[in-house]
Amino acid sequence: MTIEEKANSLVDEFQMFDEWMDKYSYIIELGKEMPLIDEKYKDPQHLISGCQSRVWLYAEISDGKVKFTADSDAVITKGIISLLLRVVSGETPNDIANADFSFIEEIGLKEHLSPTRANGLVSMMKQIKLYAKAFQLKSN
Amino acid sequence: MGFDIDKIRADFPILKREVYGKQLIYFDNGATTQKPQQVIDCITNYYLYKNSNVHRGVHKLSVEATTDFEESRNYIAEFINAESEKEIVFTSGTTESINLIANSFSNLLDKGDEVLISSMEHHSNFVPWQQLCENTGAKLKIVPVNDNGSLDMDFLDSLLNEKVKLLAITHISNVMGTINPIKEIIAKAHNYGIPVLVDGAQAIAHIEIDVKELDCEFYCFSSHKVYGPMGFGVLYGKSHWLNNLQPYQYGGEMISTVTIDKTTFNEIPYKFEAGTPDVPGALATVEALKYIKNIGIKNIVEYEDELLVYATQKLLEIDNMRIIGTAHHKTSVISFLVGDIHPYDIGTLLDQMGVAVRTGNHCAQPLIDNYCIPGTVRISLGIYNTKQEIDIFIEALNKTLAMLA
Ligand SMILES: Cc1ncc(COP(=O)(O)O)c(C=O)c1O
């Protein structure tokens, strides 16, 4: 699946929920399934700044595909990050660098997209793209 | 007028609004308070009928605006029982009031001098002193807090000496609600000739402020935390101190004469007020202060105390509840954690249920670090909050905890 297809299927999944509580419970569940960052990378270097909760992100590349792992000490933050990673993980640096994260809005999490929102979702998106661009540069 | 909660609630139009389709419960009064219709009308009326610059026009509007503006100074002076209206400097808020003093102290400090603050300070009463010390070579000394969130008075005693040139301390902690024994602290400092600046941001709406009785050199507060407008604040300073301090900003109105060779400064408080002031801010602040005076500060203290006791009791019925800040004297501010659940998760879910709380370090990172916690969830209650709202909040919190379990 392409990034766009994965994003669309996430939006579909969330359409099942009418109640915000169910939506948030699902986000928390998804967070529990996210591939966790290796403890050894939970250091200041991998910490994303601008979050009220702590968020760590790590990326590695193999066979031209980027694999992300992350963690957060807040479960909602963790869930929201897992949405991003589900969409971008396993894709090429090029595709990730050009990815469009507007599906977050379609899922109905618009309030989390405000730059001042303390979960650092915006910083997280930036960091994902930074990793992708760094891998792009390396391969060129 | 006594305490009529229905009437008070009716005065605050925003309380009728919904968020996510649910009735708003506003428990973030420590960050900013809502405004009663009287304050909103005052600002609107100013721009509708009165707008004009002050201190400079010969025309009718300007004279009227100047009179109103200066009358607000008189009112505010009286409200906090200052000796004279000259001791009331208008600023943009607590933060600017503190920065003004920190700036003006920069040529009074030398290497080897000390500035004293506490570990429960808001960043606004922390960073300006840290910077001042960095720039002057003075030493910043910090009075710690006890486990229950009260100030360690014995430690304070051990830090008082002639090298200390200023003590800056909060009247009430914005994180824990601790009311510091500020009068006693000031008396102790004065034994060593140390001037004291009090950060009154969290006090002005909740307890009676009498600067003469406290005998502090400086007192700072923001209008927006006492049901007044944003962007307006006060610095009270004893006249002889204000007279001797350097101005902080330069420009219009704060000068007496300007020639190409030399500028002489206006008298206090004007020498600290450069540029066009926030005139409607001053007028609306008076409206807000009149509003709480009308209700009666004693009634407010009594009512908010009742809310504090009720909310504390209800919270403590929850398993794994930990309240940060249990000092004997405190205002209606409660910081808490439940088990090892991150405050952000609780705040986000409460928000979905219409309850506005604050989470995080509350701009008091040194204090939060001191307790080795990731921040707290904070509720801070005001005159329009009710026990019913606390019940709804507790129900929402229980739902939240079930989701996060
Ligand atoms: C104790 C304390 N001091 C200072 C401030 C800063 O006030 P302002 O942002 O109005 O300048 C606050 C505001 O949160 C506060 O709670």
Could you tell me the domains of chain B?
5-30+296-404 (3.90.1150.10), 40-293 (3.40.640.10)
pLDDT value, residue A121: 79
pLDDT value, residue A116: 59
Confidence grade of residue B256 (pLDDT, cut at 50, 70, 90): confident
Distance from CA of A22 to the nearest CA of B (A): 9
Spacing, Cα B361 to ligand 1 middle (Å): 13
Confidence grade of residue A123 (pLDDT, cut at 50, 70, 90): confident
Per residue in B189-223, pLDDT tens? 999 999 999 999 999 999 999 999 999 999 999 99
Tell me the C-alpha distance between B122 and B101, whole Å.
Answer: 16
Distance from CA of A95 to the nearest CA of B (A): 32
Which residue, B354, B325, B324, B347, is CA-closest to B401?
A: B347
3-state secondary structure chain B: CCCCHHHHHHHCHHHHCEECCEECEECECCCCCCCCHHHHHHHHHHHHHHCCCCCCCCCHHHHHHHHHHHHHHHHHHHHCCCCCHHHEEEECCHHHHHHHHHHHCCCCCCCCCEEEEECCCCHHHCHHHHHHHHHHCCEEEEECECCCCCECHHHHHHHCCCCEEEEEEECECCCCCEECCHHHHHHHHHCCCCCEEEECCCCCCCCCCCHHHHCCCEEEEEHHHHCCCCCCEEEEECHHHHHHCCCCCCCCCCEEEECCCCEEECCCCHHHCCCCCCHHHHHHHHHHHHHHHHHCHHHHHHHHHHHHHHHHHHHHCCCCEEEECCCCCECCEEEEEECCCCHHHHHHHHHHCCEECEEECCCCHHHHHHCCCCCEEEEECCCCCCHHHHHHHHHHHHHHHHHHC
Distance from CA of A69 to the nearest CA of B (A): 20
Tell me the C-alpha distance between B64 and B55, whole Å.
Answer: 10
pLDDT at B391 over 80: yes
pLDDT value, residue B361: 87
Which residue, B369, B384, B398, is CA-closest to B35?
A: B384
Spacing, Cα B31 to ligand 1 middle (Å): 8
Burial track B120-139 (b if 16+ CB lie within 10 A, e otherwise): bbbebbbbbbbebbeebebe
pLDDT value, residue B16: 96
Return the percentage of chain B with pLDDT > 70, whole number. 100
pLDDT at B269 over 90: yes
* Arithmetic mean of pLDDT, B136-141: 98
Question: In chain A, what are the domain boundaries?
Answer: 3-139
Q: Choose the weakest-confidence range: A100-114, B154-168, B355-369.
A: A100-114
pLDDT value, residue B320: 97
Per the model's pLDDT, the better-predicted residue between A116 and B260 turns out to be B260
pTM above 0.90, yes or no: yes
Q: Taking a C-beta distance cutoff of 8 angstroms, is the pair B188, B335 a contact?
A: no
- Report CB contact under 8 Å: B345, A25: no
pLDDT value, residue B139: 98
Spacing, Cα B200 to ligand 1 middle (Å): 8
CA angle B22, B24, B30 (to 5 degrees): 150
Return the percentage of chain B with pLDDT > 90, whole number. 89
C-beta B33 within 6 A of ligand 1? no
pLDDT at A118 over 80: no
pLDDT at A16 over 60: yes
Q: Choose the weakest-confidence range: B142-146, B259-263, B372-376.
A: B259-263
Per residue in B287-338, pLDDT tens? 999 999 999 999 999 999 999 999 999 999 999 999 999 999 999 999 999 9
pLDDT at B277 over 80: yes
pLDDT at B143 over 90: yes
pLDDT value, residue A136: 92
Q: Taking a C-beta distance cutoff of 8 angstroms, is the pair B357, B375 a contact?
A: no
Q: Choose the weakest-confidence range: A83-87, B51-55, B56-60, B179-183.
A: B56-60
Q: Name the average pLDDT for chain B.
A: 95
A3-139: CATH architecture: Alpha-Beta Complex (3.90)
Cα–Cα distances (Å) from B177 to B14, B17, B367, B384, in that order, read: 25, 27, 13, 18
C-beta B174 within 6 A of ligand 1? yes
Structure ipTM: 0.90
Tell me the C-alpha distance between B273 and A68, whole Å.
Answer: 54
pLDDT value, residue B377: 97
Chain A neighbors of B344, CB-CB under 8 A: 52-53, 74, 76-77, 118-119
Per residue in A94-107, pLDDT tens? 999 999 888 988 88
Q: Is B265 exposed, middle or buried (0-12, 13-18, 19+ CB in 10 A)?
A: middle
CA angle B242, B246, B250 (to 5 degrees): 115
* Arithmetic mean of pLDDT, B271-300: 96
Q: Which site among B338, B340, B348, B404 would you substitute to test the A interface, given the most A Cβ atoms closer than 10 Å to its Cβ?
A: B348
pLDDT at B344 over 70: yes
Q: Ligand 1, atom 9: nearest CA belongs to which residue?
A: B95
pLDDT value, residue B213: 98
* Arithmetic mean of pLDDT, B40-44: 98
Tell me the C-alpha distance between A2 and B281, whole Å.
Answer: 55
Confidence grade of residue B257 (pLDDT, cut at 50, 70, 90): confident
If you count residue pairs, one on A and one on B, with CB atoms under 8 Å apart, how many are there? 42
pLDDT at A111 over 80: no
**Residues of B acting as catalytic residues:** 363
